[in-house]
Structure 1
Amino acid sequence: MQSESVFILAIESSCDDTAAAVLKNDKVLSNVVANQSIHEQYGGVVPELASRAHQQNIVPVIDAALKKSGVDKSQLTAIAFTQGPGLMGSLLVGTSFAKSLSLALDIPLIAVNHMHAHILAHFIDEDGFDKPEFPFLALTISGGHTQIVKVNDFFNLEIIGETTDDAVGEAFDKTAKILGLPYPGGPLVDKHAKLGNPKAFPFTKPKVPGLDFSFSGLKTQILYFVQKNTAENPDFIAENIDDICASVQNIIIKILMDKLKLAVEQTGIKQIAIGGGVSANSGIRNALVQAREKYGWKTFIPKFEYTTDNAAMIGIAGYQKYLHEKFNDATVVSKARIEF
């Protein structure tokens, strides 16, 4: 199938961001995201409220993406959408809309795996950003996932390491909650970490064999550490928040980088690409930049707007699936859990 003038409308609704993008081949023409601030008062995403907000946002977001791209709906070649993983109620909104529009316009429907899309975001044609060559290692890190994936080609992906319990994003968010920082806390931990001493408080690295990860023990360690010190000094958090955040971020980066080093040793692959919401963390990005010179790796860090949940990454995955005629019919269903 030829790739000339393929226009993909992409829809992402896996969690609490309603997003739509229009791509011409592998080039992003528009990438619109509507955030849901309602969850801030609850300290986390409330699934029922998220799905209701998606219903309110999806039409204006798609309309904005089309207008910004300058592409009329009659010019669209296919509709790509997030099938999973994610919150079922949220996924259903995007899936239902994508099915309806595909049927109305009589164009192909393409279901996309959210985590697959985070990896393929590196193949968006973006000035100043190189594309990895196959095979490469992908570190996908988010609120729900922590994985090392061996990427042999666009559709041949093998998970060689993953978390046995909590994801790295949960460790950041739990730390923020313990410290009394508002939701979403991960970016605030990063902000405070920039001002602190990463060696102020030594946290221990969990012993997990092979390429797998574990963060539940670290979360508990941080909680007990803060409780103990706060009991001795009620102002401990306020007086040391920068150093606490820097120390937590330091141990998390050490865990991630040590596993990546092991993965490179085992596979012989020195091309490393990161993706997922937590890859927006400045400390992790800096560690990967340093690894280029320190270990001779070729590292790929996506444009900031393609790290958190967005529809452009769904669009590039949809574009590759379109080229390979990997289409779906109206019987396709949303899946809260889904493998590559």
Structure 2
Amino acid sequence: MARRPQRGSHAISQRAIGADVVLMRDAVTPERLTHEMATAPTQAILMRGNPVFSSTVIASNPHLRVIAKHGAGVDSVDIDAATKQRVLVMVAGDANAPAVAEHTIALILALGRDVVSLNERTHSGAWDRATYRGREIRGRTLGLVGFGRIARHVARTAAALGMTVVALGRSKGRVDPALAREAADLTELLAVSDIVSLHAPLTDATRGMIDAARLNAMKSGAILINTARGALVDEDALCAALSSGHLAGAGLDTLAQEPPAKDRPILQAPNLIVTPHIAAQTGASITRTGVEAARNIAAVLTRGDIDRANVVNPAALDPP
């Protein structure tokens, strides 16, 4: 993309694809995106985090050809508007899936063996060896809500640890029977799972999907894991389910509000582990993801071979 550097940005010449890259180091608001793209024709955006690409922002630059996500979640992009303008929205494939899957398993293990609470008690002088009884994950049932790249990695690891895996994809037949048994519906998955792990995208249909009724439908003593999007879960209802003891614990790498206010009730819930949306933040994962996102952009700008598996809106590839 041909650009000139703006204040707070740093331009690098990319001769290989005939483009100048502008790094937007400051807060990326819709207004700033619109301003930057109006300054010079912008053909590609590499998006880290979740800046809002509304229909207005997308329409503000008729030169835009691709929005490449440094990761997998694209809920902040108006996909319909991008498709209408024939802008490809692309994700970084499997690049960060192993890291997120590892973090998911780490949360399951930490909650199952009470790692955080035992560490705190031991540091405070307690020694619970005579009375503590942990819970093995071997032989337990893990329910995966969503069966994309990350969930598949989780399923493989869980099976290796001796767990039974059931899963629910976006549509029937999307669950690989070699990795998991396909649940009939979410009601069945919640009823049979000792641990429920969320791997669904955030859409109008999935927002708040794990509400009070669905939390109550989970097994007594079950564990909830969310390394996907915070808004999939009704946090007040989760707080109540943890406080009542209906759920044995929850592990969240993402919250509806990030960063959360210090007085947010969910942070006071018992048996809760919260990490600051860092499941994908390993050195190797960041490198893989950045390279894959850059490859997506290079393929579009040079009219190379586009990996269709990375395209969120394949209709934008169809002839006009």
TM-score by length of 2: 0.30
* Structure whose residues are more often helix by fraction: 1
TM-score by length of 1: 0.29
- For the pair shown, the structure with the greater C-alpha radius of gyration is 2
